[in-house]
């Protein structure tokens, strides 16, 4: 009876130590090693308990030692479970750090690519607006400023606004030339045909008295505009 009580107390004490070690702020390696040592001790105790059970003749004593054996096995499994849990958490933390590092690197790459694309897009818009500004020099200085302000709003923010002054028809710039200038610039920026039609009609209403629908029919295709510009460049 005394041996049974002593072993049972030792098992409870070791279980309490194992529980405390499981939540203690020590390294995972130290926890795992301690748990493996504890599991080994439980195996030895289980073997000794089996020998003691065979030696017992009293049924009550055998039940007691069977209880110790079951409790020993349970503590042993608990130690192994804690050890494997620590290993799992260690691997999980490493994987999480790798994922975070990989994600941060990918985000950095994406940011660099977006920045490069934005710079290229800004350079493209600036170049096309400068080209358009050079083509509309036949208008008065005030008209040029109003046209370019509307062109900038459309290019940068997709806004089609009415110019601050009414743009008068200019004999040097025909309706077809005006359509070509605006279409060439905005087609290269990737603007939609219907939006370019709305821009032309709103900014140059005096050039298109027949209405927006008639203007849409007069609009040339992208290939035709591109061919004309290539001929000019050559």
pLDDT in tens, 22-62: 565 666 666 666 666 676 777 776 666 665 655 656 666 66
Q: What is the pLDDT of residue 90?
A: 75
Span 210-221, mean pLDDT? 90
Who contacts 32 (Cβ-Cβ below 8 Å, separation ≥6)? Answer: 83, 86, 87
Give the per-residue pLDDT at 78.
72
Which carries the bigger pLDDT value, residue 207 or residue 86? 207
Q: Most distant CA pair in the chain: distance in Å?
A: 124
Q: What is the pLDDT of residues 108-164, one digit of tens each?
A: 776 777 677 778 888 888 889 999 999 999 999 999 999 999 999 999 888 999 999
Count of helices and strands (H, E) across the chain: 8, 0
Average per-residue pLDDT in the chain? 79
pLDDT value at residue 140: 94
**Is-above-0.75 flag for pTM?**
no
Q: What is the pLDDT of residue 103?
A: 73
* Cβ atoms 28, 86 nearer than 8 A: yes
Give the model's confidence band at 167: pLDDT under 50 very low, under 70 low, under 90 confident, else very high: very high
Secondary structure of the chain: what % helix, strand, coil (to 5)? 80, 0, 20
- Give the C-alpha separation, 222 to 209, whole Å: 24
What pLDDT score does 55 carry?
63
Determine the 3-state secondary structure of 161 from DSSP. Answer: coil
* Residue 5 confidence (pLDDT): 57
Banded model confidence at residue 84, pLDDT cuts 50, 70, 90: confident
Specify the pLDDT at position 172.
Answer: 92
């Amino acid at each position: 009876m005394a041996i049974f009580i002593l072993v049972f107390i030792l098992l409870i004490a070791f279980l309490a130590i194992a529980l405390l070690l499981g939540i203690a702020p020590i390294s995972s390696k130290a926890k795992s090693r301690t748990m493996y040592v504890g599991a080994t001790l439980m195996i030895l105790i289980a073997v000794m308990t089996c020998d003691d059970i065979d030696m017992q003749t009293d049924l009550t004593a055998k039940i007691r030692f069977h209880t110790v054996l079951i409790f020993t096995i349970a503590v042993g499994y608990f130690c192994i479970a804690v050890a494997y849990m620590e290993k799992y958490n260690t691997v999980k933390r490493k994987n999480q750090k790798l994922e975070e590092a990989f994600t941060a690197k990918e985000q950095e790459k994406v940011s660099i690519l977006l920045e490069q694309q934005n710079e290229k897009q800004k350079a493209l818009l600036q170049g096309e607006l400068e080209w358009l500004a050079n083509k509309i020099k036949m208008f008065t200085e005030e008209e040029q400023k109003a046209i370019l302000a509307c062109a900038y709003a459309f290019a940068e923010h997709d806004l089609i606004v009415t110019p601050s002054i009414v743009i008068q028809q200019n004999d040097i710039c025909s309706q077809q030339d005006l359509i070509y200038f605006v279409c060439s610039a905005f087609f290269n920026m990737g603007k939609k045909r219907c939006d370019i039609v709305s821009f032309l009609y709103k900014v140059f209403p005096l050039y298109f008295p027949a209405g927006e629908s008639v203007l849409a029919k007069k609009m040339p295709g992208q290939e035709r505009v591109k061919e004309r510009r290539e001929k000019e460049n050559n």
